[in-house]
Amino acid sequence: MSDVLATMQGKMLFMGLAGKMLGDKGKEGKVEAMGFEVGPEMMSMMGGFTVLRLFTLMGGMTDAKFTKEQLLEINAKLNKIKRPKK
């Protein structure tokens, strides 16, 4: 996940998906899931997760469920993002 978030396109894709999943919960400037504030510490921890693992966790935390087709669509978008140079 950290490779995805290292690019501007990846950040925009992730924030768009997180915004859809959380709905109005993130409008006050704070994003919370299951009573935890999603801050920089939590974001750095999530950096070690795979995208699939992160979306599985987020789905469980927000009651959002992803279909196979939605995951394939997300994967197609991720595949269009160039990997960051190390």
Question: 35 falls in which pLDDT band (50, 70, 90)?
Answer: low
pLDDT of residue 19: 72
Structural domain contains residue 47: yes
Q: Which residue has the higher pLDDT, 68 or 22?
A: 68
Structural domain contains residue 72: yes
Counted domains in the chain: 1
Structural domain contains residue 55: yes
- The b/e string for 34-70 (b: 16+ C-beta within 10 A; e otherwise) is eeeebeeeeeeebeeeebeebbeebeebbeeebeeee
Structural domain contains residue 84: no
Structural domain contains residue 86: no
Mean pLDDT value of segment 43-57: 78
Structural domain contains residue 85: no
Structural domain contains residue 74: yes
**Single pTM value for the model:** 0.63
Give residue 16's domain range.
2-22+30-79
Mean pLDDT value of segment 3-17: 85
Structural domain contains residue 63: yes
